Chain A
């Protein structure tokens, strides 16, 4: 049984400008289940954004396929919504018009009133109501702009939502608020999400599973870490959960040390590069000795 979104033997090479090839990643293979929130974590240059662009259909891989819901991904589609880091709002349109732009593309048969009602509803879900929705993006703060971008993406009910470092340009306080908004709206919609971030705490708060990549070039999709903290989660409460620091330490160790050690190992041709599943759960150490090993490794190393 294939996962809902299946990334198979994905390879990306670029010309390095000296007549040779630069392999960004090779034979990367992993899946995302329907309704799952998956975060990909890794240093700059490991090819996260390349994977994201391939999933969005904005770039083509050198080889390999992406299959979503039984169909091969070819070119951009309304089924895969994207929230870009720099918001990508159209500055000559008002906030509301930026959202209706997407809704109209998704539902060309709807009346103007239906389109506006739908857009207004989703803007309200991210906390934008009243006069604000008739302002141009240049009159909004960075946080508000990203909210508009998120509303535009969710309003289209894509089968897969791609978030490309959506909060990277925001200050820490604003980031926290919008993470909460995102969790709330995601909880209501059962949306499948694939997200890139640099922020470990953000990844733990939001994700069902974190995919760790080693440094590039020849980056590997090394581990798939399950976040064993029950939902609904809340920024102030998850830090109290016993698994929180166990997972966090594991991630910090990986990004700080092992992402370098594991890097640059070429995948043998024909061999898939599949992440090792890691489950850290210190609340159930007695049940499964395998878990204990990982938990201890994470805490002690």
Chain B
């Protein structure tokens, strides 16, 4: 036991926690009696009909196996595979997110370069930033008139702020010595921006991007519950309407897994751009 490395011991502990957790969960769900065990009275009063209830983990695992072995089936508007639903959600998140990045990073760069612009823009950013992205939904639906585009707009508006603020902050905080190195080497403004300021501010910018993608993934579930049609958020709500709690629990887990993967991607990017002083 003590010969194991720190990571190995932590992994072992994780597995133990998982198994114990699942066992407690499984034990906490009262089993439904099989039809054969019911008394005649119970059968007559309808106790034999399947009851909705929180499913035990064994059922969720069975559901997961079933769904993940055929994730891309499409049997009509209300019956699509989990892969298709997640695909729609990721498509919306990435579209809104990339649009936000295209605007936020260059704009943040400009306000970071100028103290006047920074101070002038700050009040607007501070007012707009704390607005729940879903509050924009009615306005977006009215102006854009398309639920799909409105969902993308909501993602856009929620992911723009952390990227904008972090880029501006990162650029403004670049050490003057490094800018002086660029100046004494006669680098022009564009070259200075790309070879000195961008790499110097990159860790802060990527942190902002990482926060943004996390928020975008949180918001897409709620947005899709509202706009409906497709996506993982719609799927959760639809399965709730079907009273299929097993699918609800399964999709909750999938939301977590996809969110973790998105975050891990940016974690890798962050490690690449981080530097020690």
Contacts and interface: CB of A to CB of B under 8 A. Distances in A.
Nearest to B202: A92
A105 B186 contact: yes
Given A91-B276, A92-B200, A80 B178 contact: no
Contacts of A77: 184, 186
Interface residues of A, number: 22
Interface stretch (A81-89, A189-197, A200-208, A215-223): A81-89
Contact of B184 (A56, A90, A138): A56
Contacts of A86: 177
A90 B185 CA distance: 13
B196 interface: yes
Nearest to B196: A90
A76 B183 CA distance: 6
Interface string A35-47: 0000000000000
A206 B84 CA distance: 73
A74 interface: no
Interface in B228-277: 273, 275-277
A56 B185 CA distance: 11
Counting contact residues on chain B (CB < 8 A from A), the size range is 10 to 19
Interface in B178-194: 178, 180-181, 183-187
Contacts of B177: 84, 86, 88
A80 B183 CA distance: 11
B186 A138 contact: no
B224 to A, nearest CB: 39
A82 B276 CA distance: 23
A297 B178 CA distance: 46
B195 interface: yes
Contact of B186 (A56, A78, A82, A84): A78
A2 B177 CA distance: 33
Contact of B275 (A57, A75, A92): A92
Contact of A90 (B181, B183, B273): B181
A46 to B, nearest CB: 22
Contacts of B275: 91-92, 136, 138
A186 interface: no
Given A86-B177, A136-B276, A76 B195 contact: no
The secondary-structure label for the interface of chain B is: helix
Contacts of B83: none
B184 A101 contact: no
B199 interface: yes
Contact of A92 (B180, B181, B199): B199
B195 A101 contact: yes
A189 to B, nearest CB: 18
Contacts of A101: 185, 195
A105 B177 CA distance: 17
Given A88-B177, A88-B180, A138 B185 contact: no
B127 to A, nearest CB: 34
A102 interface: yes
Most B CB contacts (10 A, CB to CB) among A56, A57, A91 go to A91
Most B CB contacts (10 A, CB to CB) among A80, A81, A88 go to A88
B181 A78 contact: no
A214 B195 CA distance: 41
A105 B277 contact: no
A102 B183 CA distance: 11
Contacts of A102: 185
A77 B181 CA distance: 11
Contacts of A57: 183-184
B180 A105 contact: no
A169 interface: no
12 contacts: A57-B184, A76-B184, A76-B186, A82-B180, A88-B177, A90-B178, A90-B181, A91-B277, A92-B273, A92-B275, A138-B276, A138-B277
Given A76-B180, A76-B184, 16 more contacts: A57-B184, A58-B184, A80-B184, A82-B184, A84-B177, A84-B181, A86-B177, A88-B181, A90-B178, A92-B273, A101-B185, A102-B185, A105-B186, A136-B275, A138-B275, A138-B276
Closest CB pairs A-B (n = 10)? A138-B276, A105-B185, A92-B275, A76-B183, A88-B177, A91-B275, A76-B184, A92-B199, A82-B184, A91-B277
